[in-house]
Structure 1
């Protein structure tokens, strides 16, 4: 039996998709402006153990920082400019803490998919820390954040740290033959797949086993409609201006 599912079909990928710098407060505000009710973003740990938003292990692509994010304290990370790389009007946009984004989501009734994105070697530590903090930040909220990760150890640690939070397993490159056993081991609620790996038959099988199916990253409206016809429960999109709620 499928469990209750409070999340909408559309998630704004990394907050603002292709319309704002990823994993920033400006990105979350862009999702709100386009009528989105859910966002997805990446969380990892600073050197001093603070959860903050960043996709890459290194800082160069999406900020004016340099080097490995895991080697810097949150004080230094918070001073970086994470907006100018995208467009001049976003100059000075900081790398936000997980706590600040959680507060924004709650204030604006945004549901969240929190992707645990550990730096290499910190999988279990990051899974435990992010799950524990997520449980505290959304305590008493009717729709908790959905935790997901490609990192198996991180998801196991999240399961043990906050078993009450829903979890989804992220897959890429190939379809796992043992998906049912893996989802059961995680006590997961959903499978998150590259949309190119999905077929109508695979979606039906996963849902028949009692799990939801989410697809990334879907930027074509016709593809989004096709996936929905197959029974996919949610998609992550960068095309907030094309695929509208």
Structure 2
């Protein structure tokens, strides 16, 4: 997901106060959200929780699934030779032994790079950059595909801003080929983009696959586009979600997906907004919060099931 951006103090305060409890009390218990590992096990963090594994790395993905996540969200970029690589940041130097952008190197060159990260995390893992093919080939050998949220990082920082999305059509074509190659069930997928032309192309290239419009700023202005695009979900950071905004998302027939959440307080606030799924950074605390809030709460209805029902697939 994109790095956190500034937002007005008024909106943040409203969220902190408003999401802690449902805006309107309900007699019936609310199903728990589906839990998705955010970039696998999250980002490099010293506490809440301690995590030394790189985002979207093989070990981070495995940890999230081992700890009970229904699936993972990973960040997808396009290599110079049009293969899909899992890497979060726009610059390789931020988190790996490489330099420049993903788009400037072949997949073979990128997968030779070691994740680095700040001290002391670099000494606590031996992870390398991986491709989406590598992940899916491992999952295809298992009994069932986990849920997979694919967050498309399309804006190329090594191109002029006016040309930053030039390779988005190639990314969509590569993604369609890869998902078909491994026969990934549509019900286990959510493909996320903030770039509307990409979502329109994805709808044509992958009919029946659930799509999510990511909104990280200008929520009120951008939300109506989800109804026009015919996506299945709206994906927002925890700093933007409020009960009112969650209701607005549902009112246009969209699922509510929230990303982020490490501290218990922030996780309780997000849960209070009743999302359908959370791409969570602190899975263990989220699980404890859900258990503590309502031991009798009904089992979560999987996000992919609700999306499948809505789209008729």
For the superposition of Structure 1 and Structure 2, which TM-score range results when normalised by the shorter chain? 0.7 to 0.9
Q: Equivalent residue for 1:10? A: 35
**163-172 vs 32-41, greater mean Cα deviation:** 32-41
Match of 1:193 among 224, 227, 236: 236
Task: Check the 8 A contact 1:203/1:231 in 2, yes or no.
Answer: yes
Report the Cα offset of residue 90 of structure 1: 1.4
Q: Equivalent residue for 1:48? A: 81
Task: Check the 8 A contact 1:145/1:165 in 2, yes or no.
Answer: yes
- Please show how residues 218-233 of structure 1 align to structure 2 within 5 Å: 218-233=261-276
TM-score w.r.t. structure 1 length?
0.86
Match of 2:114 among 78, 81, 94: 81
Task: Check the 8 A contact 2:94/2:117 in 1, yes or no.
Answer: no
**193-202 vs 62-71, greater mean Cα deviation:** 193-202
Match of 2:170 among 115, 125, 134: 125
* Separation in structure 2 between the aligned mates of residue 27 and residue 105 of structure 1, nearest angstrom: 15
Match of 1:166 among 207, 210, 220: 210
SS of residue matched to 1:172: coil
Report the Cα offset of residue 53 of structure 1: 0.5
Change (3 A) 1:228 1:240: closer
Task: Check the 8 A contact 2:215/2:222 in 1, yes or no.
Answer: no
RMSD, aligned α-carbons: 2.3
Match of 2:195 among 151, 158, 174: 151
Match of 2:219 among 175, 179, 184: 175
SS of residue matched to 1:49: coil
Extract structure 1 runs of 4+ deviating beyond 4 A. Answer: none
Structure 2 segments unaligned to the other structure (5+ residues):
1-31, 44-50, 157-163, 289-313
Change (3 A) 1:62 1:166: same
* Separation in structure 2 between the aligned mates of residue 214 and residue 163 of structure 1, nearest angstrom: 21
Task: Check the 8 A contact 2:34/2:70 in 1, yes or no.
Answer: no
> Which of the pair has more CA radius of gyration?
2
Say how many residue pairs are matched.
Answer: 236
Report the Cα offset of residue 34 of structure 1: 1.7
* Separation in structure 2 between the aligned mates of residue 109 and residue 207 of structure 1, nearest angstrom: 27
SS of residue matched to 1:242: helix
